[in-house]
Structure 1
Amino acid sequence: MGIITEKLRWSELVDEVRAERLRQDQKWGEQDFVPDVWLSILIEEVGKVARVINEGHLTMKDGWPVKEVQIEDYREQLVQVAAVVITAVECLDRGCLRRADDDMS
């Protein structure tokens, strides 16, 4: 794969994550949470990735066991994980941690 093809693919992937971010904003609105809440949300999303993997089935390929997963579902869940991570960083950049500290004092 050439550099131009890789850059186009990267751009498409970023667009997918951006679209998922917008979808999350429409569904949940702006989200300002402390890190332990973000960790819970992220672990929930990673758990969905794990579920897709665990629901796959084992087959043999060249004498080795191989887990076959639903690639579309797996990829969709990974894009959602990426979007949640970006949302958490956006929250941090908006100063939500500083506001939470101010609320505690």
Structure 2
Amino acid sequence: MKVKRPKISQAVVDGFAAIIDAQDKKGLEKYDRSIDDAVDEDYDWKLMALEEMADYSKYLVREIRRLRNALDSFLNRDLTSLALLDVNQERIAQNAKWGLQRHDYPFWLTILVEEVGEVSQAMQKDCTSYKNSDASDLYKELIQVAAVAVAIAEQVKENDATL
């Protein structure tokens, strides 16, 4: 009677069956007999199992290192992507709140420096000389600085396109 398994379970069973079949084929080619026909006195089954486990352990350590490197690489890229997404969200919020802003560059500089000042306050919030401010979320303040810089860059691009 065939067991009805969930798809994931069946994929695991099929995967193991394929590996076992491949190992049986290798064993037949190497030893000219199946494991069923092996002579017990010719093999130290426990030692062979331990040797296989030692190799298995080395393979796992190697795979864990590979996955850690891949994860580190992904997270480094992902953190940048997340920060840029937050900058974009802040730009959308700025446009929703203020409308499309176009200023002369000295006025933009005033806005940008004010935002940088809030970053400075957020960075110093644990210092004894800290001035009370609502700028307590360093990440949020940095995102706002970046978003203002992007708004300025948008205007620069727009001005370049019209020349």
Q: Same fold (TM over 0.5)?
A: yes
Aligned mates of 1:55, 1:7 — CA distance in 2? 29
Aligned mates of 1:35, 1:57 — CA distance in 2? 33
Does 1:74 pair with 2:138?
yes
| 1:33 Cα deviation after fit | 1.1
Q: Which has the higher strand share?
A: 1
| 1:38 Cα deviation after fit | 0.8
Does 1:53 pair with 2:53?
no
Count of equivalent residues: 85
Unaligned regions of 5+ residues in structure 2, if any?
Answer: 1-70, 129-135
Aligned mates of 1:52, 1:6 — CA distance in 2? 24
Q: Which has the higher helix share?
A: 2
Residues 13-92 of structure 1 correspond to what in structure 2 (within 5 A)? 13-57=83-127, 73-92=137-156
SS of the residue 1:30 aligns to: coil
Aligned mates of 1:16, 1:55 — CA distance in 2? 23
Q: RCO higher in 1 or 2 (8 Å CA, sep ≥ 6)?
A: 1
User: Percent same amino acid at aligned positions?
Assistant: 31
Taking structure 2 as the reference length, the TM-score comes to 0.47
| 1:85 Cα deviation after fit | 0.2
Aligned mates of 2:149, 2:125 — CA distance in 1? 24
| 1:53 Cα deviation after fit | 2.8
| 1:54 Cα deviation after fit | 3.4
